[in-house]
Structure 1
Amino acid sequence: MQQSLHSSGLAGQRLHARRGVAAFAPVRSSVSRSTRVRVFANATAAAAASGTPVPKNTVLVVGATGTLGRQIVRRALDDGYDVRCLVRPRPNPADFLRDWGAKVVNGDLTDPASLPACLVGVSTVIDCATARPEESTRKVDWEGKVALIQSAQAMGIQRYVYFSIFDCEKHPEVPLMNIKSCTEKFLESSGLDFTTFRLCGFHQVRIGDKTSRRTLTLSGPKAWTTREVIELCEKMADTNAKVTTVPTWLLKRTRAVLRSLQWAADAADRLAFAEVLSNNEVWSADMAETYRLLDMDPGSVTTLESYLQDYFSRILKKLKEVGAAADRTNFYV
């Protein structure tokens, strides 16, 4: 995998970074398309430059309808931030975000030209988006994020917060983790003031000056297995889940078959996590340095038990009230 993204410009940065993901799929997007996006972003930035200064409390959350994104939106609103949420136009709009007090702007990571306008008047971008099961990981998590980072640079975004995966650089054979690692490098070379959080799970985040241009690992007090999480959800929901257990060896063989089928490439990429699971790795890390940089009391960390209790008692209830729970494909636990 390409280890250096040094280049004289963003076009060169993208060419170097693209080599890092070439191992799992060819990236066919041309540099000319990237250049068109940057030209459009520069034009948007120039048009906005004559307006009023951007308040430092304006935040754009990308991936706001996801499990992690919703928590970030709620916390930011509680802390008094002016929160905007990038949401793709769809038949069932994310009305619950507006009900909470956030503003919704239409944009799509798979449509780079739609991104610059969403960044007008924004100080900080919080990027916690990822491709859904039916979407292409390459188009959303790589090409879309590259376009978003380039637009953020052109628009003069003051801070870019990116959520990655713990130890992603150690697993280039897993497409999503390979993409995360390459995106980290691309962001580092972009010149933006950034903070990258490598997650072992879902976390609420506090960002201070000491985190500028830093990559931090976020881990909880306990590493949970999938079975333990399911049992906890069953307890909270007071119901039994229908669980089908698939052995890791079968996932590996299924992935090998799917990789030979072009139409099933994305499914094969997602099954690559079976390779990580088979290594019996512990998805946890020492948090002493992270707590110090964030000025956090370890006792203030929300546990998984507390998070799920809040989820079942408040969020699902709210989603049902606004009708979002009618279509279960609109959100994921």
Structure 2
Amino acid sequence: MSLLVLGGTGTLGRQIVRKALDEGFQVKCFVRSFRKAAFLKEWGAELVYGDLRIAETIPLTLFGVTAIIDASTARPTDLYNTSQIDLYSKYILIESAKKANIERYIFFSILNARKYANIPLMNLKVKIENKLQDSSLNYTIFTLGGFFQGLIRQYALPILENQTIWLTGDTTSIAYMDTQDIAKFTIRSLSLSQANKKILPLVGNSSWTSLQVIELCEKLSGQRSKISQVPIYLLKLAREFTNFFQWSWNISERLAFLEVINRGDNFNTSMNEVYSLLQIQHDETTQLENYLQEYFAKVMKKLKELNYKMGEESSKIEF
């Protein structure tokens, strides 16, 4: 089976590429910068040029492809707004997939997206879900909560570097999951017809609020955090301001998504059906405590090695 992976250089996409290659799949990566994606080629993937901002480049990337795994999304730094990249271009991709007789289309959405139709990012995901459901394609839609990897930059690094962590609230809990586990579920689904035309959640074994994650990081690192609260009204003002300018619409849409995180929702659900359907055991997925413990252990080990080397250099100078 030949896979076309979109978003292969991203946090989730690169894990999907690695897992697919390990499982013996032929992997093509849809990229617009061969330089930034060079590491994927080193792993064994084939790079094909494609740009979701340029619709004409999309159909040619599907030549010889059996399945599409779409792990792409617009970035806050993109000058184009998300409706161009996450909606219009995805519609063209889906139509092109139908014409190319793609056997499976995997798309990643957001858990609880249908509850927040007024939030642009959520609304876009739901529209693409609907487009796939109305198509003749064999699709699998995975709805995600959050990634372990995102917690490193958000909480772990600021604590280690004694920087301020900015919070807008602590009423929403999220069942974060390791992207390596998400990749494992994704690749497994390709070989199972039972996953056809299914919307399946992919979430961790337990949900966490921001403060609970921070407390865990403090415990494992042995360091205290510096927390500052950002009033929600300031977030709303920032969203309204950025919505005035076309170049900042993408930022405005993501600020709107941050408002969701402060509504006291629980981004978690049962995974029993998914474990059974994809024939994966509960204990095969990583616990957040173990993931962060391993991360901090590696960081502390490197710091000790660095201090030891600095001590050796200092003693040589004194001698």
TM-score range, shorter chain: 0.7 to 0.9
Partner secondary structure for residue 268 of structure 2: coil
Distance 1:124 1:177 in 2: 25
Which residue of structure 1 aligns with residue 42 of structure 2?
A: 99
What CA RMSD, in Å, does the superposition of the two structures yield over aligned residues? 2.8
Closer/same/farther in 2, CA of residues 209 and 108 from structure 1, 3 Å limit = same
Contact 1:252 1:274 in 2 (8 A): no
| One-letter identity of the residue aligned with 2:14 | R
- 1:267-278 mapped onto 2 (5 Å cutoff): 267-278=251-262
Amino acid in the other structure paired with 1:211: A
Structure 1 counterpart of 2:64: 121
Alignment of 1:137-148 (within 5 A): 137-148=82-93
Once residues 115 and 58 of structure 2 are traced to their aligned partners in structure 1, the CA distance between those partners, rounded to angstroms, is 31
Q: 1:108 to 1:311 in 2, by over 3 A?
A: farther
Partner-residue secondary structure (3-state), 1:109 = coil
Q: Which runs of 5+ in 1 are unaligned?
A: 1-56, 314-333
How far does residue 307 in structure 1 lie from its aligned partner after superposition?
A: 5.3
Structure 2 equivalent of residue 22 of structure 1: none
Larger Rg: 2
2:129 to 150, 159, 184: 184
Q: What whole-Å deviation, never above 9, does each CA across 1:268-288 have from its counterpart, x for those lacking one?
A: 111112331221111111111
Alignment partner for residue 303 of structure 1, among 283, 287, 302?
Answer: 287
Deviations 1:174-232 (A, max 9, x none): 10100000100001111111100011124232202111011111111122334555677
Q: Is the 8 A contact 1:217 1:287 kept in 2?
A: yes
Q: TM-score, normalised by structure 1?
A: 0.70
Amino acid in the other structure paired with 1:200: G
Q: Which residue of 1 aligns with 2:271?
A: 287
Distance 2:107 2:57 in 1: 20
* TM-superposed deviation, 1:253: 2.1
**Pair 1:64 & 2:64 matched:** no
Q: What count of residue pairs does the alignment treat as equivalent?
A: 258
Q: Residue 119 of structure 1 aligns to which amino acid in structure 2?
A: L
- The ranges of structure 1 where at least 4 consecutive aligned residues each deviate by more than 4 angstroms after the TM superposition are 226-245, 305-313
Distance apart, 1:110 and its partner CA: 1.1
Partner of 1:3: none
CA distance in 2, matches of 1:121, 1:105: 12
Structure 1 pair 111–231 and aligned structure 2 pair: CA distance change class (3 A): farther
TM-score of the superposed pair, with normalisation by structure 2: 0.73
Q: Structure 1: how far apart are the matches of 2:134 and 2:297?
A: 41
- Cα 1:191/1:273, change in 2 over 3 Å: same
CA distance in 2, matches of 1:127, 1:236: 35
Aligned residues with identical type, % of pairs: 42
